Amino acid sequence: MRFMLLFSRQGKLRLQKWYTAAAERDRKKMVRELMQVVLARKPKMCSFLEWRDLKIVYKRYASLYFCCAVEEQDNELVTLEVIHRFVELLDKYFGSVCELDIIFNFEKAYFILDEFLMGGEIQDTSKKSVLKAIEQADLLQEVAMIQSVVLSLGQ
Amino acid sequence: MALKMVKGSIDRIFDKNLQDLVRGVRSHREDEAKYISSCIDEIKQELKQDNIAVKANAVCKLTYLQMLGYDISWAAFNIVEVMSSSKFTYKRIGYLAASQCFHDGTDVIMLTTNQIRKDLSSPNQYDTGVALTGLSCFVTPDLARDLANDIMTLMSHTKPYIRKKAVLIMYKVFLKYPESLRPAFPRLKEKLDDPDPGVQSAAVNVICELARRNPRNYLSLAPLFFKLMTSSTNNWVLIKIIKLFGALTPLEPRLGKKLIEPLTNLIHSTSAMSLLYECVNTVIADCCVCVKTDTCPRPPQLCVQKLRILIEDSDQNLKYLGLLAMSKILKTHPKSVQSHKDLVLQCLDDKDESIRLRALDLLYGMVSKKNLMEIVKKLMVHVDKAEGTTYRDELLTKIIDICSQSNYQYITNFEWYISILVELTRLEGTRHGHLIASQMLDVAVRVKAIRGFAVVQMATLLDNTTLLAGSGQHKSICEVLYAAAWICGEFSEHLEDPVHTLEAMLRPKVATLPGHIQAIYIQNAAKLFAAVLNGQQGTPDCQTMQESSQLLIDRLPLFVQSADLEVQERASCILQLVKFIQKLQHKEVEVGEEVTALFAGELNPVAPKAQKKVPVPDGLDLDAWINEPPSESESEDEKPVAVFAEEELRHARPHHTEVDEKELARRREARKQEQANNPFYIKASPTSQKGYQDSTGVEHIPVVQIDLSVPLKVPGGWMSTSDKYLKLEEERRQRERKERGKKEKKKKKKREKRSGMGRRHDSGPESEEDIAPAHMVDIVTEEMPENALSSDDDEKDPNDPYRALDVCDIQGNLQNGSQVVVSIIFENKSTSFLKSMEFNVLDSLNSKLQRPEGSGPHDGLTVPFQLPPGVSNEARFIFSVQSIVMPQRLKGTLTFIVKADDSSTHEKLDFKLHFTCSSYLITTPCYSDTFAKLLESADLKGTSVRLQEVSLPFHHLLAKICFHHHFSVVERIDSCASLYSRSIQGHHVCLLVKYAHQTVTIDAKCDESSLLGNVLEEIKKTFSQS
């Protein structure tokens, strides 16, 4: 996978993850271009399109578009399953996720994605173990947080 | 609960936390930029503080702003600070920010190496995990080099959580620092057996990706993966393994065979569409490999069935992918896809445009003579229904692509096609007017018999004002008028009412058309005028003539004023001409012929290689200098090129003499230069270059088979005419089918074997001598333009060392099933109309006429056209020849019906076809070293002949042998030359021709002595005739 984008129906970027290095300017241009192409598609259309030398797989969940760019030999249906799995993970974590959850907790969404995919490859096929890893890391964070608050209050 | 309180109190420490920022951005939609710049100022202040919590909060906010498109690269150092925090909370945020905005060009990355190393070896697995995740995004070649060892150690970490991440990131490390692959690979391979399924799948992932880049190194792992494939139950892992095999099979075709069974099992058993799709795709790809190597031509019937299920599914995604995969099968197994035409046509109705476009792509490859009209009819319906010009234009181009592919191969009725084109002109707002126009021109010029019909249709177009009216907004469609005007002018003899068309072409509204079209209008109005004058010649009534001169004189001044130079020039030129003619008319001088002479001569289509047809006339020395050779100083310009060519040559053939190379390179360069500068030199189309072995000359000859069994009727106006032709054509075919059916019953079905397996070769048997003289039909069997092999000479670089290899490689393939294509030009020299021509040849044991499936061995072949008086046309017939060592003479008859005004008679014409041995030879270039090797080999048997009293110059003599007997000169030294040719079955024929005192000695060697004897006999004959 080359990159994954999440954007809203209004064309606002909500999440972006690039698995190959690209200059900031090129990234912006690609994002803008791709959002235009995907948003112009009619609801009944299939989820795949050919764009530049990439295959784009996208799916709309409520007001959010999940959009992945994969290479020529990659399997579109697997990519669709990856998107769906990510949505499931978000759903489990936030409890019926909505766009606002991702806007306000965008760093959490990244953490989940990073536990699920790494370098564009599926890291763990099991939902359970991804969520477990996230929970444990969060717990670590909360503990650290309490410590620092206690520290700062003590000052 | 307690946690929330704590969170609330910590938030108060900062001016603004992430949530505040997000909320603020959302509420400042109007002046977002301003708001954010104030936030960035605030963040800068926060970053200056020592409190790491404040810094982390600032970096987190920056990460959010980065996503909104703001530059945060200035904060790179602060990000590193946060990454280095000992607290996981902040470390996590720092690494996230780094992974989002660091790239190869970020300077501070250099500072991170030690920190990352520390995190990698942290006792806390989440510290390590976060570092690995971050690294996977921003790893640079330096980081990869420095940390490769640390990561490699992590591959054997006790926690599977770390192991799987370490394995995955190794792929990125390999990419950035390839040297790490060799030492790390054994450990990576170990991980395929890891007890943890996550680690195992990560290892499969990495190896699969590596193998996709360089499959050869991973062939040895095939057995291991084969075992994994049969044992794994994880679909995502299975898909990766199958993908890996997909990369390996092109290198090892046996693997493909072995895979078929497990893949078939999976296809049958799996319920996961993604896995099914992957299997089907891999089987298809395997079959492509097999087809290439000729090991397993098994059509993927199962795949097609499964794809059909996908396409029939209501899920748009499956439909799309099904069509996509189907088009891959189409390339190798068109037959197995063609039976699903109904399904593909259904997809044209789909509401999703991308599916419709996929279906269109498929249709292009699915058409045949039988279904073309039906498919195009469907497409025309869609053209009418289509919303949005983009899709409609796509349909239009596809219709034209489908119809015109491989020289209109699938069109059996050109009236129908012209009607389709005319119907397409009704499309409003299309961008492809020029495309329609060029098709009209192409068909009218190349299909002689259709001209009458075309002209009448074009006249209607010219007469119709809708196109003119539309020219304002939609410029493109009026391009059609360009074609229409030209066709009406050029073939004006077919016009019913030339005066009317002339009038239509000079309407004032024409002046609104683009300049280049107006220019064509004026030029062709002049042609029409000439035709009118000529037509009226000799009739007592000269009023029409005078009227049309007056018409031109009245109308042309409008165009003389045109702003377009071309229009202006042509109009004023022709205006003066007409004025002059009018003067002569008043003196009652007959000018028709003279005016017609202005436009005399027919424009004929010429094949790109037609020049090859022309033999070198006696007395012309192509090698002689016309002017003195350029002086030394002048040729210096070429030197760099020549030197380059020379080096290349030396590389390819080290023992070749230097003088020759230089000379060759120089000549070649000169020829290339000359061709490039010559505007009349038609460069070959790129398609003719590929595969120089299997391209046949026939494809390049612009002769189109036509069928005119429908009367030439003029359909009126704008009604849809194509349907009518469709119907007529169907009726005709039904009749034919019935007749064929009757015949079939009497005879057992003949087994069709080997058709199409052999390589097609064209060669023309010559000899007109056996044709009964002074009959209605003249059969001129004709030498084809020398076949594709020889004519490729000037396109391919003879330097290419691979060519020589090719020559040796193919002969095996040519061994059986040779086909010979015979082109025959039928010319009707009589004054009657000839139809129902049937061509038949009495097969010999050796040479057989290839007849369509189902017909008996003595049935004739219908010549696919009729011949009006004075018309000639060409038909091709394929013969299969067993042995080519002997010349063959085949007796044949042509039967036909002569249609006179009142009656028709059935006539017969006998002829003989003479297949000389030379006609089985293909001009094949050969290098002197290959040639020398051939001569040395013991397989060749030699013989020689002597020709007395040959008074030709030596190079003419060579040219004659080359031209008539398909040889190519290998080397020539003074009056001695070596020549080479190859038979269609791969026999090598080598000649050494010496010339002294009007005597030619030919020493010849060939691996087939009787073939050689016959060829020499034929060469002898050539020279005895002259």
pLDDT digits (tens, 9 = 90+) for A83-135: 999 999 998 888 888 888 888 888 889 999 988 998 888 888 788 888 888 88
Residue B799 has pLDDT above 80, yes or no: no
Residue A62 has pLDDT above 60, yes or no: yes
Rounded Cα–Cα distance for residues B856 and B840 (Å)? 12
Q: How confident is the model at residue B749 (pLDDT cuts 50, 70, 90)?
A: very low
DSSP A47-88: SEEEETTEEEEEEEETTEEEEEEE-TTS-HHHHHHHHHHHHH
- What are the tens digits of pLDDT across the range B188-216? 888 888 888 889 889 998 998 888 888 88
Backbone φ and ψ for B444, nearest 5 degrees, come out as -65, -35
Residue B95's pLDDT is 92
Beta-strand relationship, A48-51 and A54-61: antiparallel
Contact A149 B103 (CB under 8 A): no
For the whole model, what pTM was predicted?
A: 0.60
Mapped onto helix, strand or coil, the DSSP state of residue B833 is strand
Residue B677's pLDDT is 56
Q: How confident is the model at residue B346 (pLDDT cuts 50, 70, 90)?
A: confident
Contact B132 A118 (CB under 8 A): yes
Could you tell me which residues come within 8 angstroms of residue B799 by beta carbon, excluding any fewer than 6 positions away? B645, B648, B649, B652
Residue B754's pLDDT is 38
Of A48, A103, A126, the CB nearest to B317: A48
Contact B92 A141 (CB under 8 A): yes
The average pLDDT across B337-343 equals 82
Residue B903 has pLDDT above 90, yes or no: no
- What are the tens digits of pLDDT across the range B708-742? 333 333 333 344 556 667 677 767 767 766 666 55
B79: left (phi over 0), alpha (psi -120 to 50) or beta: alpha
Distance between B6 CA and the closest CA of chain A, angstroms: 7
Most confident of B224-233, B331-340, B870-879: B224-233
**Cβ neighbours of B212 in A, within 8 Å:** 73
Q: How confident is the model at residue B675 (pLDDT cuts 50, 70, 90)?
A: low
The average pLDDT across B629-644 equals 48
The average pLDDT across B995-1012 equals 86
Residue B721's pLDDT is 56
Of A21, A75, A137, the CB nearest to B126: A137
The average pLDDT across B160-173 equals 91
| B209 in contact with A, Cβ within 8 Å | yes
- What are the tens digits of pLDDT across the range B246-275? 888 888 778 877 888 888 888 888 888 888
Dmax over Cα atoms in chain B, in whole Å?
Answer: 119
Side-chain half-sphere of B271: how many Cα atoms within 13 Å?
0
| Range name among A83-87, B100-104, B340-344, B634-638 with the lowest pLDDT average | B634-638
Taking CA–CA distances from B61, the nearest residue in chain A reads A107
Between residues 731 and 770 of chain B, which touch chain A (CB distance below 8 Å)? none
| B130 in contact with A, Cβ within 8 Å | yes
Cβ atoms < 10 Å from Cβ of B557: 12
Q: How confident is the model at residue B524 (pLDDT cuts 50, 70, 90)?
A: very high
The average pLDDT across A4-11 equals 90
| B233 in contact with A, Cβ within 8 Å | no
Between residues 52 and 91 of chain B, which touch chain A (CB distance below 8 Å)? 53, 60, 63-64, 67-69, 71, 73, 87-89
Rounded Cα–Cα distance for residues B811 and A12 (Å)? 63
On whether the CB atoms of residues B971 and B931 are closer than 8 A, the answer is: yes
Of B10, B60, B209, the CB nearest to A149: B10
Q: How confident is the model at residue B631 (pLDDT cuts 50, 70, 90)?
A: low
Contact B278 A78 (CB under 8 A): yes
Over chain A, what is the mean pLDDT? 86
On whether the CB atoms of residues B867 and B898 are closer than 8 A, the answer is: no
The average pLDDT across B934-956 equals 81
The average pLDDT across B415-428 equals 86
Most confident of B305-314, B517-526, B914-923: B517-526
Residue B1014 has pLDDT above 60, yes or no: yes
| B239 in contact with A, Cβ within 8 Å | yes
Contact A123 B198 (CB under 8 A): yes
Residue B946 has pLDDT above 50, yes or no: yes
Residue B759's pLDDT is 38
| B49 in contact with A, Cβ within 8 Å | no
Residue B576 has pLDDT above 90, yes or no: yes
Rounded Cα–Cα distance for residues B353 and B367 (Å)? 21
Residue B745 has pLDDT above 60, yes or no: no
Q: Which helix (H) or strand (E) holds B914?
A: strand B904-915
Residue B424's pLDDT is 87
Q: How confident is the model at residue A153 (pLDDT cuts 50, 70, 90)?
A: low
Residue B694's pLDDT is 40
Residue A58's pLDDT is 93
Is the ipTM above a cut-off of 0.90? yes
Rounded Cα–Cα distance for residues B930 and B811 (Å)? 15
Taking CA–CA distances from A15, the nearest residue in chain B reads B67
DSSP state of B897: E
Residue B297's pLDDT is 44
Q: Which of A14, A85, A111, A121 best probes binding to B when mutated, by most B CB atoms within 10 angstroms? A: A121
Rounded Cα–Cα distance for residues B132 and B541 (Å)? 99
Helices (H), ranges, B249-299: 253-269, 273-293
Residue B750 has pLDDT above 70, yes or no: no
DSSP B749-811: PPPP-STTTSPEEE------TTSPSS-SEEEEE-PPSPPHHHHGGGTS-TT-HHHHHHHHHHG
- What are the tens digits of pLDDT across the range B100-110? 888 888 888 88
Rounded Cα–Cα distance for residues B354 and A38 (Å)? 13
Distance between B440 CA and the closest CA of chain A, angstroms: 33
Contact B353 A45 (CB under 8 A): yes
Residue B654 has pLDDT above 50, yes or no: no
| Range name among A143-152, B12-21, B676-685, B871-880 with the lowest pLDDT average | B676-685
Between residues 308 and 347 of chain B, which touch chain A (CB distance below 8 Å)? 316-317, 319-321
**Cβ neighbours of B198 in A, within 8 Å:** 123-126, 129
Q: Give me the percent of chain B exceeding a pLDDT of 70.
A: 78
| B964 in contact with A, Cβ within 8 Å | no
- What are the tens digits of pLDDT across the range B828-865? 877 788 888 888 888 887 788 888 777 777 788 888 88
| B503 in contact with A, Cβ within 8 Å | no
Contact A118 B168 (CB under 8 A): yes
Mapped onto helix, strand or coil, the DSSP state of residue B828 is strand
- What are the tens digits of pLDDT across the range B428-485? 777 888 889 999 998 888 888 888 899 999 998 888 877 666 545 556 788 888 999 9
Residue A57 has pLDDT above 90, yes or no: yes
